[in-house]
Amino acid sequence: MKKLLTTACLFVVTIVAPVSFNVSTVLGQQNFSQTKAIRFGKLVDGSGKVLTNAIVVVEGDRIKSVSTSESSIPANVQVVDLSRYTGIPGLIDVHMHLAGTHGGTGSGRVPNQVLSRSPVIDMFLSQGAARKMLDIGITTVRDVGAYQFTDLAMRDLINMGAIVGPRMFVSGPGLRTSSALGVAVPEATADGPVEVTRVVRRLIAAGVDNIKVFGSIGPVPDMGCPTASFTQSAAFTYDELKAAVDTAHSLGKKIAVHSYGPDGARDAVRAGADSIEHGLDMDDATLAEMARRGTFYVPTIYNNVYSAERGSCKEMRIGWHSRTVETVKRALKAGVKFAMGSDGNAPTWMIGENTRELGWFVKVGMTPEQALATATTNAAALLGKEKELGKIAPGYFADLVAVEGDPLKDIDVVINNVRWVMKGGAVVFPALEPYRELKEKRSDTYELDEDEMNDVGYKLLRMKKVNEAIEIFKLTAFPKSYSVYDSLGEAYMVNGDKELAIKNYQKSVELNPQNTNGIEMLKKLQAK
């Protein structure tokens, strides 16, 4: 800490002091950390409106106002100028395994197989994937399957600020029948409507946000690389699916059904599922019924392409891909609603490539605007969060993404040109670039220690990225570290935020009464 502080003090005096004068006089004090105004050259708000020279005012974690009027900017707030970019709502991936499922990798033929490693290891290793989601503009994820409820833990850790990642809505382990091979998941295995009802209730009591059902699971990879139809592989009966749907809905939860082949999907849709996942080979009658009911289709198109390029069963994957594309085209014609799901599986599988699904949506016939809706308004509706997520409007979560280019002309802009991301009012990208850089250099470890984080924060301060430095120090301040509170105090001081500077120095001295630097700084600040 001493070495770092010496460096820091030096540059505060020599470099940042003149800047801090400007910052403090322009920005004032109290509202600084709470309210922000963000300028976008263009704003695609998710409700069909496109604004030019838009101003989005964010208060805490929510959007306060959206307008084109300069007078909407409150006095004394930080103004973030993104007028070079187009603002879009934070993206939502509705089919992910962000807590990982690789612990379950093994021979699918062995019944009651035990996990090959603890799912907690997967979840721990998936922290980088969680960060990566934010980098590509995904601020919300629906997790549709993890072992031993690690997805619930990850959701809670993200909400606590202990892991940096997207907002998660999770399902725990998906419901399955006893005929499902592979890893034993007794807590989510059910046969017959009575057991299905019991298990759905248990999962909801355990704290899941939505229910996932492995409806008709398709061929097991270990059985070779089949190219035949999946008609025979419907796992749950109609009555079982109906029990699952009715129980989930009666307890206010949405339900996603994983389905391969026409029969399983037909039963799931008739039973009232909210979404069909994968769903290749669905017949026209089922698609018409989905359009009528408003059932969402989450085809995970890109997943088979990604798998074909990397996994075994290349021929099979290519076959599935063309059948998925064919089904999706018919679904589009039938007027079925879509939501974007990647089937990305942390820590590494398809991580960072999730939004390529949007490119496939355009390739199969959607307009860029329709494709964007699959990851914003449609996805939010599938989560039952259409009043809080998926749009840039007053009262909604301040989940904003700045892209370079026009996403309504070219969807690749959303896939490749993400320049800035805010989740719940906090800038999450590119705020932590030096953090990532350091992490890459130190790929042998997964977490940096306090001093390294402190160093990263000071690097940002030196780059005059004061707000981002503050974000880093805030991150590092978990759970309790006197030196980081000291740094945070300094960053706020540089920023002209005297009150917060005092608060953080006080916290630091409280944690370590021997912190002479903190005591000195407090004296100076309080004397002013």
Binding residues (CB under 5 A) for Zn ion: these are 343
Query: Minimum Å distance from CB 145 to Zn ion?
Result: 6
Residue type, 87: G
Query: Minimum Å distance from CB 85 to Zn ion?
Result: 32
Rounded to 5 degrees, what are φ and ψ at 267? -65, -40
Residue listed under structure tokens 């669905």: 282
Alpha helices in 215-367 (DSSP H): 238-250, 262-271, 284-293, 301-310, 314-334, 356-363
Query: Minimum Å distance from CB 277 to Zn ion?
Result: 7
Q: Which is nearer to Zn ion, 86 or 148 (CB)?
A: 148
Query: Minimum Å distance from CB 257 to Zn ion?
Result: 12
User: What contacts 349, CB < 8 A, 6 or more positions away?
Assistant: 306
CA distance 488 to 499: 12
Q: Which is nearer to Zn ion, 343 or 497 (CB)?
A: 343
CA distance 457 to 466: 9
Q: Which is nearer to Zn ion, 209 or 343 (CB)?
A: 343
Q: Which is nearer to Zn ion, 45 or 343 (CB)?
A: 343
Q: Which is nearer to Zn ion, 188 or 426 (CB)?
A: 188
Q: Which is nearer to Zn ion, 143 or 399 (CB)?
A: 143
Query: Minimum Å distance from CB 79 to Zn ion?
Result: 42
Query: Minimum Å distance from CB 506 to Zn ion?
Result: 48
Query: Minimum Å distance from CB 95 to Zn ion?
Result: 6
Residue nearest Zn ion, CB atom distance: 343
CA distance 151 to 78: 35
Residue listed under structure tokens 């990851």: 375
Q: Note whether 213 and 145 are within 8 A (CB).
A: no
Residue type, 262: P
Q: Which is nearer to Zn ion, 343 or 490 (CB)?
A: 343
Q: Note whether 125 and 446 are within 8 A (CB).
A: yes
Query: Minimum Å distance from CB 518 to Zn ion?
Result: 49
Helices 301-310/314-334 angle, 10° precision: 170
Q: Which is nearer to Zn ion, 298 or 400 (CB)?
A: 298
The DSSP-derived string for 9-48 is: HHHIIIIIHHHHHHHHHHH-STTTTTEEEEEEEEEE-SSS
